[in-house]
Amino acid sequence: MRKKESKKEMILNAATSLFAHKEFHLVGMDDVAKKAKVAKGTLYNYFKSKEDLYFSILKTRLNTLVNSLKESYNANENAWNNLKRYIERIHKFMTSNPYFFMILKKEEPILEKKKKIEIKSTIDTLKETIHKVFIKGVKERTFRIETANELVTDLVLSMTDTVIKRDLKYNDKTKAVETFLGFLSTIILVN
């Protein structure tokens, strides 16, 4: 079973790289097979179609990120420490998986409606996980009352995206997160 999982992961990694650098319609299953160093038929043992492969990339990577955030949550710590850890985990995950980050930001319209809804649901779970930290922060009077709304969650995620883009562009993975967290603390923490 382990060999099968590693081969699937090799295919996902190869396809992620290709989809990150080319438009969806320009990537063929032959390209993926060549890059993954597997037979084209092997691809179809794991994925029904190119669309299924693309969806699998999004779904598996997003689930990995959401599970990482949930695992890192510590109910015994204050909301600020949990939020910092979430931002650091998102940053580390995305800078360690830059091709996935590029695909996620492309918003390719190729997925069928059911799969788009499933991806949106996973992204919503990610947002809800972070939003709960804001609510906890307000309850414990660590965060300003205004932070307990979905707009702030979206803004923090957007700013995190900007930090990730900058770090990928300049290959500077530490200072930007620290600067961002310092700036964020001045906005959301109660004085």
Whichever domain contains 28, its CATH number is 1.10.10.60
Range of the domain at 20: 1-47
Q: What was the pLDDT predicted at 150?
A: 85
Q: Say what the pTM is.
A: 0.87
Per the CB < 8 A criterion, the answer to whether 83 and 132 are in contact is no
- Report residue 133 as tokens: 């930290």
Q: Which of these three, 27, 47, 67, is where a domain ends? A: 47
What's the gap between Cα 144 and its chain centre? 27
Same domain, 15 and 96: no
Q: What was the pLDDT predicted at 71?
A: 93
Number of independent structural domains in the chain: 2
Q: Which residues of the chain have pLDDT under 50?
A: 1
Same domain, 59 and 140: yes
Per the CB < 8 A criterion, the answer to whether 177 and 87 are in contact is yes
Q: What was the pLDDT predicted at 116?
A: 85
Q: What was the pLDDT predicted at 5?
A: 60
Q: What was the pLDDT predicted at 108?
A: 62
Same domain, 25 and 58: no
Q: Collapsing DSSP states into helix, strand and coil, what is residue 48?
A: coil
Same domain, 61 and 34: no
* First and final C-alpha spacing in the chain: 53
Q: What was the pLDDT predicted at 1?
A: 46
Same domain, 37 and 54: no
Q: What was the pLDDT predicted at 86?
A: 95
Same domain, 88 and 170: yes
